[in-house]
Copies of this chain bind each other. A is one copy, B any other.
Amino acid sequence: MAPFITKFEPYEPEEYVVCEKSGTKSPARLEKVAIVGSGSWGTALARVAATNTAEQEGFDPEVRMWVREQEIHNGKRLIDIINEGSHQNEKYLPDVDLPENLIAVPSLVETVRNASLILFVVPHQFLPAALKELKASGVVNPKARAISAIKGVDVVIEKDAAGKTTQADIYTFPSVIEKELGIPCTALGGANIALDVGRGEFCETTIGVPSAKDAALWHAVFDGPKFRVHPIEDVAGVSLSGALKNIVALAAGFVDGMGLGGNTKAAILRVGLLEMAMFTQDFFPGSSSFTFSHHSAGMADLITTSFGGRNRKCAEAFIKSKPEYAPAGTVTNGKGKTFLELEEELLNGQKLQGTLTAQEVFDFLEARGRLEAYPLFEKVYRISFEGMDPKRLFEDL
């Protein structure tokens, strides 16, 4: 039905060794999974992966997850809580039991050592430092494969001495990871609120992976009866959708903050999805509009994020913090709060991706002289950072 689906055969180890004495056949080597990141989404994916590797032939059951030494929860090290305490990530994914073969490791380098399959799932502001450390350490197996569940884009704008833009480029994180580490990187994204995935509720996700062999591998790592993985060819589309949807989710939060209803929100989502698809096809011509219209990484993810995600939540609070939109009886500071203040207040240490992406995409489109083709993206930026009246969201759509 939906084009660009990657065809693959179920995963099987490539080579086996046979024990001369007993005749037992076993895989010649084991795939080993590492998780770079331990926020709510990283932990939820780590749980899925560790559950699968414990049960499948060809995988080392131990999955390592990078948890910073200094992550503290209720006075204890998060690493100790995960490895020796409740076996939960009490800070970012509370009340979800993690399998014992998922090991929290304080060192990034030790997390990745010997891994053949590396998931990157850090907030996008933290990726450059992580890649630099990994590259310098020489620990990354040149035959390893990476997958990115990072929500964001890498925008590079060069200016001359007079401040005039000389070049503006945009990269997906899979391409950044490929370039820095010299290993192939695919993308994962879908309608996945971390806590619901952690609780084992039914959902779908999309992996952008053109190689049939790699599709089989990543499918084996993540697919299960309650977490259905669909591989498609479009790496850029999956990665960009995960980034751009957060801009639209901010618009959805503005709608909620203004107290408008489901019709308005659905209209914003429809226009937003079209801008997401158009942006991706404009700047990544090999990508497919089907990724947005047909797959979990597209419309389904946008729906979930725009009704339940943290960008929506902070954007609603942003509008309601303004004196003219504050609910009756609430006291405001007289001018509204900034997104930085709201992130601090509402997110318990998690980072907001949408505002950063809105700014980067705005800067990129402005530098390329293409803002007028993306009125929703432009307005989300101006409402977020330039004090534009949120009512103007609906003009020229």
Contacts and interface: CB of A to CB of B under 8 A. Distances in A.
Interface in A285-335: 293-296, 299-301, 303-304, 307-308
B263 A201 contact: yes
Interface string A164-194: 0000000000000000000000000001110
A262 B1 contact: no
A228 B267 CA distance: 10
Q: Which one of A201, A262, A266, A301 has the highest number of Cβ atoms from chain B below 10 Å of its Cβ? A: A266
B263 A191 contact: yes
Contacts of A278: 1
A273 interface: yes
A393 B192 CA distance: 19
B274 A299 contact: no
A2 B295 CA distance: 18
A204 B267 contact: yes
Contacts of A192: 263
B304 A263 contact: yes
Contact of A262 (B196, B267, B294): B196
B274 A202 contact: no
- Grouping DSSP codes into helix (H, G, I), strand (E, B) and loop, the A interface class, with mixed when no group exceeds half, is helix
Contact of A266 (B199, B203, B267): B203
* Total identical chains: 2
A18 interface: no
Nearest to A302: B266
Nearest to A199: B261
B270 A296 contact: yes
A394 interface: yes
A263 B202 contact: yes
A264 interface: yes
B202 A264 contact: yes
A156 interface: no
Contacts of A221: none
Interface string A268-287: 01100110001000000000
Q: Which one of A192, A196, A293 has the highest number of Cβ atoms from chain B below 10 Å of its Cβ? A: A293
Interface in A196-222: 196-197, 199, 201-204
Contacts of A2: 274
Contacts of A397: 228
Contacts of A201: 260-261, 263-264
A191 B266 contact: yes
Nearest to A263: B203
A136 to B, nearest CB: 38
A262 B193 contact: yes
Interface of A: 1-2, 191-193, 195-197, 199, 201-204, 226, 228, 260-267, 269-270, 273-274, 278, 293-296, 299-301, 303-304, 307-308, 394, 397
